[in-house]
Amino acid sequence: MTLDIITSPTLIGIKHGFFTRRGGASSGVFAGLNCGYGSSDQHEIVSINRARVAESMGVAPDHLVGVHQIHSADTVVIDSSPAQAHKADALVTATPGIALSILTADCQPVLFADPDAGVIGAAHAGWKGALNGILETTIENMKSLGARIDNIHAVIGPCISQHAYEVGPDFRETFINHDPKFDRFFVNGQEDRFHFDLPTFGLTKLREAGVTKAAWTQNCTYSDPDRFYSYRRTVHQKEADYGRLIAAISL
């Protein structure tokens, strides 16, 4: 099966893709293109899946670079293919021939590019990372490589949408304590529950940081099991594990 790759006109001219689960070698609960070594899927099968992504991106498998994601605001600058993954949640580079990648299963995968400066970035922005500044640190590190804020394009890929993201009052309180204006990203649910709008929060953070060319692909990971893995859906269905989607960008 051929790979199913979502691209965005916001990043036109830049090689990139938000890869769905279709077209991979994994089976069972991981059926499809599981690219997460952190899952309990067979390591060699994940390697096959990642090699397919690398081929699609036009790089060697060892030049498909990621990080050991820890829900932080930490960003690393990549100038060559590292032997071991850094602990961080975003990568930036101005080096051709490297594909930056991020893994998600409901969190926001965010791809960045300043096409004129030749600087790209990729960020894993769950609620915690987005709240604590992962998008802003990615932008600052891109600027350190020569990117200009008025020429940075950013796209949020498939992630959990508001209708599927039910949270409790403590979660909402965390955001309001950070900034009372963040209450606008919540709507009432049943009883004491709320629904949080993660992609709109991400877009708002990007635009407040000065990125005017920002978009979301409008894909909900939870609501489309044929195309996307979802951590939350796996929990609700009481499955043993879940696959990881990959997003990648290269110069």
The residues that bridge with 92 in the sheet, in sequence order, are: 77, 121
CA–CA gap between residue 55 and residue 225 (Å, rounded) = 25
3-class DSSP assignment, residue 26 = strand
Query: Is pLDDT of 1 > 70?
Result: no
**Residue 187 domain flag:** no
Average pLDDT estimate for 183-198: 97
Query: Is pLDDT of 8 > 90?
Result: yes
H/E element, 119: strand 119-125
Q: Closest by alpha carbon to 73, among 135, 127, 153, 121?
A: 135
Q: Closest by alpha carbon to 184, among 155, 204, 156?
A: 204
CA–CA gap between residue 168 and residue 213 (Å, rounded) = 32
**Residue 201 domain flag:** yes
**Residue 168 domain flag:** no
Numbers of helices and strands, H then E, in the chain: 6, 14
Residues 66-124 have pLDDT tens digits of 999 999 999 999 998 887 789 999 999 999 999 999 999 999 999 999 999 999 999 99
CA–CA gap between residue 179 and residue 202 (Å, rounded) = 15
For the chain, percent of residues with pLDDT exceeding 70: 99
**Residue 118 domain flag:** yes
**Residue 211 domain flag:** yes
> The pTM is what?
0.97
- Note down the domain range covering 223: 5-161+197-250
**Residue 181 domain flag:** no
**Residue 73 domain flag:** yes
* Structural domains of the chain, count: 1
CATH of the domain at 74: 3.60.140.10
CA–CA gap between residue 28 and residue 154 (Å, rounded) = 34
**Residue 182 domain flag:** no
Residues 116-161 have pLDDT tens digits of 999 999 999 999 999 999 999 999 999 999 999 999 999 999 999 9
The token pair at 208 is 């407040």
User: If you write DSSP's letter for every residue of 53-79 in order, what string do you get?
Assistant: HHHHHTS-GGGEE--B--SSS-EEE-S
Q: What pLDDT score does 223 carry? A: 97
